[in-house]
Structure 1
Amino acid sequence: MTHDPLHTDWSLEGTAKRRADYYAASQRKFVPFRDPLVFRRGEGQYLWDNEDNRYIDLLGMNLCISVGHAHPRVVEAATAQARELTHCTTMFYHPTPAHLAEELAATMPKRHEWVVHFTNSGAEAIDLAMTMARTFTGNLDLLALRTAYHGPTAAAQSVTGIAGWRHPGMPGNVAFVPEPNQYRGIFGAGTQPYLDEIARVIATATTGRLAGMLIESVQGYGGIVGMPEGYLSGAAERVRAAGGLYIADEVQSGFGRTGDHFWAFEKDGVVPDIVVMAKGLGNGFPIGAVVARKEVAEPMEDKFMFHTYGANPVSCAAGRAVLAVIDDERLQQNAREVGAALLERLRDLQDRHAVIGDVRGAGLMMAIEMVRNRDSKEPDRETTAAVFEACRAQGLIMSKSGPTQSVLRMVPPLCLSMRDVDAVADGLDAALGDATG
């Protein structure tokens, strides 16, 4: 009998031992549950573990699954391309990435020329956006929001405002401004004080000349923090007055997730200079992109910029199918309608569970924030962890997020249905009861 070198041991014990023996410490860290969980398959908004227990995926595998696990049209598009040509470097021409670039540009605000550079991931796209802004403006200084998350690479870390994601050796020339969190922001609710602070930071913590400012249109890992009306346009105005560009990070909030718009920045009627995207674009296939106004991207033609698997035709074929599915299956509208129904149920939970300090979100991008006391708003990390663990027993997968891990973040595939709303809300209700007694 011959040994199969591709045999897969699906046991929890075997997988756990191989991870412990062969994963670096840096890759072992990010494990959410006390007891590990092995997922074997997925379909739509559902996941099954190695013991065939079913879960509702409210995390979308960190928002990478946009149109549903193993969506047949995405799988078929990628499989057909893989059978024909698995990879083609951008040194040579291939029509699939070129078509996807055209289709992405068509989703951008009209009356502008948009161009696309494909990367392997969102973090690489952030790095490129930073380089593009510095090249175009000739300035070095960048602004970012506190509690922002833009990625784990050295450059993306430098504009990430959460200590747990920052490591030694990050590049400099970054100043942080307070996030306009309407629940616990340092200036309370409102917009103007946060815009005034941008001007103060430019005047005191930078050279006065900016390369740009990066803003997640809805902060994701920071706890689903939406930008209040007028903030994005006001920030862009102040940054441009200092010579910089407005860089919209849509890695988590894009592709119709917030329901009312395809890109979350559209809510404020503002046009970015650069848009960064990834995650849901590939529905699990690795791909990221920087979409920029043509004049902003042009100065970079003087030097080489290369991403080995950027514009990989298999990932781009998946991306093309994703855009078509979002449109054909009306998933943006589904996100709006199902998200509104679920948000209403979450607010009912807030009325009945004192540990819930805030419920917020748009479309299928929602959060429950736990507090020890609603008046003091003291974050309750321990109860959040307990509810999170109890949700697993209810067949719900979500994430602990926010700077103090006191937020339950729900960002399911856009195909979450109305029939799932009761299961999610009832499961959360039971988990809250189990965790808080």
Structure 2
Amino acid sequence: MKKGLQCVRKFTTKPQLPECDFTPKPYKGLSYDEITQIRKKNLNPALTTYYSKPLALHQGYKQWLFDIHGRRYLDMFAGVCTVSVGHCHPRITKAVTEQMEILGHSTNIYYHTKVHEYAKKLADSLPGDLKCIYFVNSGSEANDLALLMARSYTGRSDVVSLKNCYHGMTYQTMGLTCNNYYKYPVPGAAGMYKTHNPDVYNGIWGGNKCRDSPIQTDRPCSCSGACEAGLKYVDQFVEELNFNIPKNGLAAFWAESIQGVGGAVQYPKNYIKSVYDIVKKHGGLFVSDEVQTGFGRTGDHFWGFESHGIVPDIVTMAKGIGNGYPLAAVVTTEAIASGLSKAGHFNTYGGNPVACTIGLTVLDIIQEEQLQKNCKDVGTYMLLALAKLKSEYSIIGDVRGKGLMIGVELVQDRETRKPLKASDFMKIWEHTRDLGLIIGKGGLHGNVIRIKPPMCVTKEDVDFTLEVLASAFDSVK
């Protein structure tokens, strides 16, 4: 038995997938070998894949995926936190078909009904003066445009983001992102600064009362009032400003409400609001990246930033906004948006009628199927179940998250919090796939299980996921 891994259960039978009443269509496409050869020859090698033998997917339905051989998988990663209301939702399919028969494309140099209907409905979901929207195609593009807006409006250039963050892969947003896996050996974008990541599990400071989550860290906490860990991370941010940012030079501060690619990292409850106040005092803008935390995924609120008690100056969103269709948006105030009119700006596909039809339908489904409530109910159920699993397996160092945005950090040793070896993590990961479960991974060391499923998953799906994870942990010997 590997040191640090305590196993208390053994499965004599293979975990069984929950029942599904859907039958996929027969697959008639390329063979697996043909797909592999074409990928090697015709697709850029930078396109990485999951698993030693990548999945070849054929069809999706709700929380289920089917490969080209007809095998079914429970998707607990949602195409990297992207499929919000479920794969191939019939209402979306119907709405797209009807729209394609009317108007498939129009740029925003003309009026068309759907972009206006959608802009109004999306704006109504946001608080305050966040009513002015620019539609784009991806989260990277949204953050890139938000950066241009912030600098254009303020007339300043310097931007601060958090270590361990991820905000995209355009040349500019790579400067915002802080993880060397996504850094190329070329000169970086100018004016980008980083401050300490307020990670209460792995960071310098943290305690067991810091998070807005049903689950806390194991670190002791002696706070009698305000969260001392949060205040110390705020002091680090102020120090960053004092050392690196010229007076009247801060254009914006960027943050995800919960870090996504970084491993579902949550901050102390008093951190974001305190930083927000400091940013505003310095004349900068606060940009909230809601690419993964928006559209009800965190359960308590429709937007992740609402849990921090702020109204940002700019909000970027993507992924769940279109249930997997290329759609994203930058939302801000009319005054800040006016900065973009200092020169011409054009996006061929932003506000495409099909994309806006999908966006409208996604909003309707979230509301009518009560998926935000499902995120809270099922997500809390899963977090509590994962905490119980943690008590049985010392390989689990930390469980964290809110709603259906969950991270499980795996370690070699709980005391040192040393990350689990990559070889052991990959063995666990492959094992879960073999049992029909798709999960993600993240964190600086790639040792965090990322669980961000379609928001329609059930408690039965959670029970299966827990069984598979336990079986996978047992496999590491």
Which of 304, 314, 319 pairs up with 2:354? 314
* 2:258–2:267 CA contact under 8 A, matched in 1: yes
What are the residue-to-residue correspondences of 1:276-295 with 2, within 5 Å? 276-295=316-335
1:66-102, Cα deviation, whole Å (9 max, x unpaired)? 0000001111112211121111001111110111111
The aligned counterpart of 1:385 is 426
Moved more, 287-296 or 188-197: 188-197
Does 2:28 correspond to 1:26? no
Following superposition, the deviation at residue 422 of structure 1 comes to: 1.0
Summarize deviations over 1:346-398 as a string: whole Å, max 9, x none: 11111111111001110001111011110000111332222111110121101
Which of 350, 362, 370 is the aligned partner of 1:330?
370
> Mind listing any 5+ residue stretches in structure 2 that lack a counterpart?
1-26, 208-228
Q: Report the counterpart of residue 150 of structure 1 in structure 2.
A: 167
Q: CA deviation at 1:227?
A: 2.5
CA deviations on 1:113-164 (whole Å, 9 max, x unpaired) are 5100000111000001101110111110000000100011111111000001
C-alpha separation in 2, matches of 1:243 and 1:63: 33
Aligned to 2:405: 365
Of 184, 192, 195, 2:231 maps to: 192
Write the distance in 1 (CA, Å) between the matches of 2:334 and 2:272: 21
How far did residue 239 of structure 1 move? 1.3
1:295, distance to aligned residue in structure 2 (A): 1.2
- Whether 1:175 and 2:193 are equivalent positions in the alignment is yes
CA distance in 2, matches of 1:227, 1:77: 39
Flag as ranges the 4+ runs of structure 1 deviating above 4 A. Answer: none
Which piece of structure 1 moves more, 243-252 or 293-302?
Answer: 293-302
Secondary structure at the residue paired with 1:69?
coil
CA 1:12/1:290 → structure 2, altered by over 3 Å: closer, same or farther? same
How far apart, CA to CA, are the structure 2 residues paired with 1:354 and 1:173? 42
1:9 to 15, 25, 29: 29
Partners in 2 of 1:186 and 1:153 — Cα distance?
31
1:396 paired with 2:437, answer yes
For 1:418-437, list aligned pairs within 5 A. Answer: 418-434=459-475, 436-437=476-477
Query: SS state of the match for residue 225, structure 1?
Result: coil
Higher relative contact order (CA 8 A, sep 6+): 2
Paired position in structure 1 for 2:19:
none
**2:263 is matched with which residue: 223, 229, 234?**
223
Distance 1:387 1:369 in 2: 13
Separation (CA, whole Å) in 2 of partners of 1:62 and 1:371: 23
Displacement of 1:230? 1.7
Q: Once the two structures are aligned, what percentage of the paired residues are identical?
A: 37
Q: Secondary structure at the match of 1:191?
A: helix
- Cα distance in 1 for partners of 2:406, 2:339 equals 39
CA-CA distance at 1:187 after TM superposition: 2.8
C-alpha contact (below 8 Å) 1:142/1:175 kept by paired residues: yes
Q: Distance in 2 between matches of 1:217 and 1:370?
A: 22
> Which shows bigger deviation, 257-266 or 346-355?
346-355
Taking structure 1 as the reference length, the TM-score comes to: 0.96
The separation in 1 between residues aligned to 2:373 and 2:279, in whole angstroms, is: 33
State how far apart, in whole Å, the 1-side matches of 2:234 and 2:432 are: 38
> CA–CA distance in 2 between the matches of 1:80 and 1:232?
43
Name the structure where helix makes up a greater proportion of residues. 1
Query: 2-side partners of 1:113 and 1:364: how far apart?
Result: 25
The answer to whether the 8 Å contact 2:300/2:403 transfers is yes
* Contact 2:291 2:316 (8 Å CA) reproduced: yes
Alignment of 1:59-70 (within 5 A): 59-70=77-88
Work out whether residues 154 and 284 of structure 2, in 8 Å CA contact, stay in contact via their aligned partners in 1. Answer: yes
Deviation at 1:302, TM superposition (A): 2.4
Task: Give TM-score, length-normalised by structure 2.
Answer: 0.88
Counterpart for residue 3 of structure 1: none
- Once the two structures are superposed, residues 3-26 of structure 1 have per-residue CA deviations (whole angstroms, 9 ceiling, x without a partner) of xxxx97332111111000111122
Q: Deviations over 1:240-262 (max 9, x none)?
A: 22221000000011100000000
Deviation at residue 228 of structure 1 after TM alignment? 2.1
Amino acid aligned to 1:142: V
Q: Quote the offset at 1:268 in angstroms.
A: 1.4
Compute the RMSD of aligned alpha carbons: 1.3
Counterpart in the other structure of 1:46 = 64
1:248 to 264, 270, 288: 288
CA–CA distance in structure 1, aligned partners of residues 267 and 304 of structure 2: 10
Q: Deviations over 1:28-81 (max 9, x none)?
A: xx2120111101001001111111111110110111200000001111112211
Deviates more, 1:71-80 or 1:39-48: 71-80
CA gap of 1:141–1:393, structure 2 versus 1, over 3 A, is same
The whole-number CA distance in structure 2 between the counterparts of 1:308 and 1:185 is: 43
